[in-house]
A and B are shown apart, each in its own frame.
Chain A
Amino acid sequence: MKTIGVRRERRKTSWVGRLLTVHGIAGYLFLYLPIVVLVVFSFNASRYASAWRGFTLDWYVSMLQDQALASAVKNTLIVAGSSTLISTVFGTMVALAMERYRFRGKLAFDALLYLPIIIPDIAMAVMLLLFFILARLRLGLVTIIISHVAFNISFVAVVVRARLAYFDMSLEEAAQDLYADEWQTFWRVTLPLIMPGILGGALMAFTLSIDDFVITFFTSGPGSTTLPLRIYSLVKLGVTPEINALSSLMLLISMALVMLSLLLQKGGGGGIEIV
């Protein structure tokens, strides 16, 4: 599949291009500025972040021994993983339908689709709690996942629709003239073309899920504490560098995974076909 995108123009590396590069680097520096602070303080001997009292690896040791933290990380990954998977598939499907078809009640459905983004999270948290109790669902990981999917579908749909908005339908038609199979058209033409949107939506869903506190708190039950819940409850006593250590470790792992995927990709040579 040939990538359709703006290719870098070598002949016109003008001041605009340079400015863009400088801005890009500055943008990433801004995003990583607090992250650097966070990592540095994970090595601080003081329990409080106020002053530097020497280098230590103690927080990493105690973090690795912390059972409660380990189970919180496990729960967080289960919730974020499954809710991202479900909401990405459902959200992409609904985005396809919304961009393609006119149907009765579409405006109402459109509104319904935006509501989870718009609703204040505390209101959503309270209403879901009331609902789960009413429906006699036992609070736990399942109810957390259900709730996360309920808001993530909308976020995925918005991002994918941004990609689909000017989708060239003639490409699909051309493909159908050749293959004449809808599924093949979808897998080989449509999906690769909207993949950046899907990937963006999935990333956003994962990020929202991994970091949600309010809705998770209200829909969690005994034994389903996730990482944000654990961290927020620690706040009463001040955040310990143990959490910084954990965050740093997670960053390291994520970075390593990204590098790995980039290396693997180089072999394939494909651009947007990452999954």
Chain B
Amino acid sequence: MRRLMMRTIGLGLVSVILLMLAVACGGRDGGGGEQELAQELHLYNWSEYIEPQVLADFEAEFGVRVIEDTFSNNEELLAKLQAGATGYDVIVPSDYMVEIMIEEGLLAELNHANLANLGNLDEKFSDPPYDRGMVHCVPYLWGTTGIGYNSDVFEEEPDSWSYLFDPEIASQYAGRITMLNDVREAMSAALKYLGYSLNTTDEAQLAQARDLLIQQKAWVYAYDTEQYEDLLSADEIVLAHSWSGDIFMAADEDERLWYAIPQEGGVIWADNLCIPNTAPSKYTAEVFINFLLRPEISAANSNYAWYASPNAKAAEFIDPQILDEPAIYPPSDVMEKLEWLEDVGDATPIYERMWTEVKAAGP
């Protein structure tokens, strides 16, 4: 009996190893020809960031199966590509990460001849500062970083960073504030409150921002990037340093929640469609990107994810609830105060150290 069992285990083990070897040595997918569609397209995306019907439509129209894998932050994506991971056709990095990937030579140059729908883009987004002339990327969706709040608690909109940093105001909400658990975002909020650029590399300015964050720590409930909308809705907190789309999505269910862009200005960001230079089929990837640039497709994704679309022609297909919301599509005077995050290069470790000091401060 037992011998039989062991033999089975042994057999299982051998077959597993053989299987592994077979798969490991198996042939690689051939990269399709220049202007030929591949059978599959590997999309590496944030989760819940594309309308599933869009993928189905693409498959129906072009006969290309889209296989989607998901990542949870830009740095993870970069680490994999930097090491040389292959097999992804289209990736969706954020603005500053596009800049880094270009510097590291990880992105292919787009063939604009295959991207006829590029003209649909709003001119505000067709020449992004992190990739002038859209040589390597096409903006997909964009949003801002600001303040999510419980409107039952505030008579007027908390549209200033002073709600988070001014000792007189913030102390009233002690223990009911969350800050994003992200070094660049948290520092940006403090730098903007102080009136500095959020891409500064001046150590004195950074030190001031750090001290402000340390002072603020006494009133902070948590540093959190994942569940602040949930905490707002549960009345654990009333103010949350947050990304726009998260709050709007939650407001769908709890109408007390809303979002404000601080008048001092905040972060504007965009996620972008790019093709890694190791893509199995660059042509298929370009056809896919061009497909996503169609007005009605672009609008469908915007309606799905509650983020603004950089696609001007998509406007007529976008839910008016989204389109007319100034916190999603801010008026031009607010737009002008928003700033893109740029990679700060050699100052990155300085930012990181100061953030660690903030975290290590206190009891």
A contact set with B: CB distance below 8 Å: 46-51, 68, 82, 85-86, 89, 126, 129-130, 133, 137-142, 145-146, 187-188, 191, 217-218, 220-225, 229-230, 232-238, 273, 275
Q: Which of A137, A191, A223 contacts B24 (CB 8 A)?
A: A137
Bound Cα distance A6, B239 (Å) = 57
Q: Which residues does chain B contribute within 8 Å of A137, judged by CB atoms?
A: 24
Residue of A at shortest CB range from B233? A50
A221/B233 contact (C-beta < 8 A), A85-B12, A129-B79, A235-B226 known: no
B276 to chain A, nearest CB (A): 11
Q: Which residues does chain B contribute within 8 Å of A236, judged by CB atoms?
A: 46-48, 72, 225-226
Q: Which of B6, B9, B67, B83 contacts A130 (CB 8 A)?
A: B83
Residue of B at shortest CB range from A237? B48
Bound Cα distance A232, B73 (Å) = 10
Interface: B68 (CB within 8 A):
yes
Q: In B124-151, which residues have CB < 8 Å from any A CB?
A: none
B contact set with A: CB distance below 8 Å: 2-3, 5-6, 9, 12-13, 16-17, 20, 23-24, 26, 28, 42, 44, 46-48, 67-72, 76, 79-80, 83-88, 225-227, 229-231, 233-235, 246, 249-250, 253-254
Q: Is the interface of A mostly helix, strand, loop or mixed?
A: helix
Q: Which residues does chain A contribute within 8 Å of B23, judged by CB atoms?
A: 140-142
A46 and B13 contact, CB distance less than 8 A: no
Bound Cα distance A86, B10 (Å) = 10
18 CB-based A-B contacts, threshold 8 Å:
A46-B253, A50-B233, A50-B254, A82-B20, A85-B13, A86-B17, A133-B83, A138-B86, A139-B85, A187-B2, A222-B42, A223-B69, A229-B69, A233-B70, A236-B47, A237-B246, A238-B226, A238-B227
Greatest chain B CB density within 10 A among A50, A126, A146, A217 is at: A50
B39 to chain A, nearest CB (A): 13
A187 and B3 contact, CB distance less than 8 A: yes
Greatest chain A CB density within 10 A among B3, B24, B246 is at: B24
B46 and A233 contact, CB distance less than 8 A: yes
A129 and B47 contact, CB distance less than 8 A: no
A48 and B83 contact, CB distance less than 8 A: no
Residue of B at shortest CB range from A139? B85
B88 and A129 contact, CB distance less than 8 A: no
Q: Which residues does chain A contribute within 8 Å of B44, judged by CB atoms?
A: 222
Q: Which residues does chain B contribute within 8 Å of A133, judged by CB atoms?
A: 83-85
